[in-house]
Structure 1
Amino acid sequence: MFLQWIGIATTTYLVIKLVYYLAQGAYLYFFRTYPDFNKYGKWSVITGATDGIGKETAFQLASRGQNIALISRNTERLKNVAKEIESNHNVQTKCLAIDFSGDEEIYDKIADFLQGLDIGTLVNNVGTDQELVRFLEQSNLSLIIRNLVRVNIMPTLKMTQIVLPGMVERKRGLILNLSAFTILQPIGKFAITNATKSFVDLFSRALSYEYESEGITIQSCRPGAVGTKLSQQFGDLEKMTSIKDYCTSWLATVDKARWTHGHWQHAVEAWVWEKIPTALVQKLSDYFYMEPGAKIMKELEKKK
């Protein structure tokens, strides 16, 4: 009888846990309700704003009445995106061309650029990647290390340092930081990139506890492969979640959780990814990502 009760209790616990996860997933990804982004402030600041998730997020926030401050590397693309936003939505835009792989002095320029704006939302989206080879086999290891730290880690820290004091003073604000669900497992030939993404995720979740009492919402987003230029090394872009669909889903999770995968498909992929034995992850990543990715990167280099 004792063993029977243990079995019943265990089964009940697992069923309740499953129902909880399903209900939580449905709440996050299927009941799409959006916050009033204007309650945080009039301006949204987006890094890496001329392509992919950053660009689409800028358009979606503009469609909800946000003025958009765009920060990215290419001046011409920035002007084109700003012009398109202003022509489609009755909002203001500001542009700043910055290469985030530069020295720390770039953040003085960014601080001056953002001076005086009622910044309600910060989207730390800018990022870069490594070659899909082992650590010591990177073609220019010192440069790779420097760029990954400067582009994947420093902007999240420094941009937060710039905008957070104003948010705390106004007792309102939203910070959205882009990580990746690959952080759930160590992946060979992806060590530096994965580590930098892990930093962003842990920093974001810890900071959310520090500043929630100040009225600040901070969320880490862990997407999988979305149909962006940065993701083309991982396979056919047409088979991935579209950028528009992903951002539409992701922005509906704001204010609902400290972290999210942004889209139900990515949540399912992440759940499976986390449960797979680590040794098998290495083999699968080599088969599905690394070998095809290396071929694609070689082809891109040839075209250049």
Structure 2
Amino acid sequence: MIFSRSAMEFQDFILIVPCCLGFISLCKTFIRFLKWVWVSFFRPAKNLNEYGSWALVTGSTDGIGKALAFELASKGINLVLVGRNPSKLEATSNEIRERFARKVDVKDIVIDLAKFSGEEISNMVEEGIKGLDVGILINNAGMGPPYPMFIHEIESEVLESFMRVNMDAATWVTRAVLPGMLQKKKGAIVNIGSGSSMAVPAFPLCTLYASTKAYLAMFSRCIGLEYEEHGIDVQCQVPLFVATKMIRGFNDSASVFTPSAEMYSKASIRCIGYEHICTPYWMHSVQWFLIQRLPDALLNWYLFELFLKSRKRRMEKF
């Protein structure tokens, strides 16, 4: 009788344990979902003016960089715009001044990040921001592949430009801005990465682009830890497709899945100062979640076939 009762209690225990574990797992999933909703839609943005009165934005005359410059200006933050084309920089600066009724100051620094050495870039930035309270740095400048191609097909000059713009420039510009942030013990550095380097297991035929963007993610993680105690927030933002010229030929029309640069910039600004690695636009985070549930082999096969077809169409045109 005693044995029978013990057996029944053991059977009840065996049944209860999976239920309890399942309930705990469900609760954790629900909590993660609530956190995602809070972060994506309700979490208030930080007061960016507390970092400093000026923001420096590289690659600021097109796409995400230009949209971010306008969004920062709408917050009353003065701008240092870095670009390679003097006329486009001037046009962007004038447009910002006109839209915001000259309530913000705008300064231009003309640098071709693909042609100058790292030390030259650093010196030019240091000279350009001398005397300015630069509290925010956005390393947005980047080169995308002209079309999907094998790495041996990339001309040596283009390959060198990729390395300089996508990795060297962000490193040296950050080095130039950091001393001022360290002196006042506050600042925010945002590096614009790419889902090609993190959301998928591989990004074939766009190898150099994805690899250089992966550098930005690790660079951000490391200096984020190094300078956190000095009041400097470092973040790598990892967007998926955004409707800019860089993705022309893939999916360049704005939609809820592929936001415009303006849509993305609003989400981007709301995330500054929070997570070290983040995906600001809510639908991108949904896509990322779904992508990570697929087998790596399937994703690799699909992307390789997709980019092979895109490469073939490109070559047929020329």
TM over 0.5: yes
Which residue number in structure 2 is paired with residue 179 of structure 1?
Answer: 193
Letter in 1 for 2:295: P
SS of aligned partner of 1:218: strand
Q: Out of 135, 138, 160, which is 1:120 matched to?
A: 135
Matches within 5 A, 1:3-152: 3-89=14-100, 90-104=103-117, 105-130=120-145, 131-136=147-152, 138-140=153-155, 142-152=156-166
Letter in 2 for 1:271: F
**Cα displacement string for residues 46-86 of structure 1 (whole angstroms, at most 9, x for unaligned residues):** 00000011001000100101000000111111001000111
Q: Out of 224, 247, 269, which is 1:251 matched to?
A: 269
In structure 2, relative to structure 1, the CA distance for the partners of 1:211 and 1:12 (3 Å cut) is farther
| Rg larger for | 2
Q: Where does structure 1 lack aligned partners over 5 or more consecutive residues?
A: none
Q: Out of 283, 288, 293, which is 1:265 matched to?
A: 283
Q: Out of 248, 255, 262, which is 1:232 matched to?
A: 248
| Greater shift in the superposed pair: 222-231 or 255-264 | 255-264
Letter in 2 for 1:270: W
Q: Is contact 2:238-2:280 (8 Å) kept? A: yes
SS of aligned partner of 1:108: helix
**Cα displacement string for residues 90-133 of structure 1 (whole angstroms, at most 9, x for unaligned residues):** 10000112111113123322221111211010000000023412
Residue 222 of structure 1 and its aligned partner are, at CA, apart by 0.2
Q: Where does structure 2 lack aligned partners over 5 or more consecutive residues?
A: 1-10
Mapped to 2, the partners of 1:290 and 1:75 lie a distance apart of 37
Number of aligned residue pairs: 298
| Greater shift in the superposed pair: 271-280 or 224-233 | 271-280
Mapped to 1, the partners of 2:125 and 2:316 lie a distance apart of 35
In structure 2, relative to structure 1, the CA distance for the partners of 1:64 and 1:22 (3 Å cut) is same
**Percent of aligned pairs sharing the same letter:** 28
Normalised by the size of structure 1, how large is the TM-score? Answer: 0.91
Mapped to 2, the partners of 1:296 and 1:35 lie a distance apart of 44
Letter in 2 for 1:111: E
Letter in 2 for 1:281: L
Normalised by the size of structure 2, how large is the TM-score? Answer: 0.87
Mapped to 2, the partners of 1:60 and 1:236 lie a distance apart of 21
Detail structure 1 runs of 4+ shifted over 4 Å in the superposition.
287-290, 296-299
Q: Out of 134, 146, 167, which is 2:181 matched to?
A: 167
Mapped to 1, the partners of 2:254 and 2:176 lie a distance apart of 37
Q: Is contact 1:233-1:294 (8 Å) kept? A: no
Q: Is contact 1:32-1:249 (8 Å) kept? A: no
Which residue number in structure 2 is paired with residue 188 of structure 1?
Answer: 204
Mapped to 2, the partners of 1:294 and 1:265 lie a distance apart of 30
Q: Is contact 2:204-2:307 (8 Å) kept? A: no
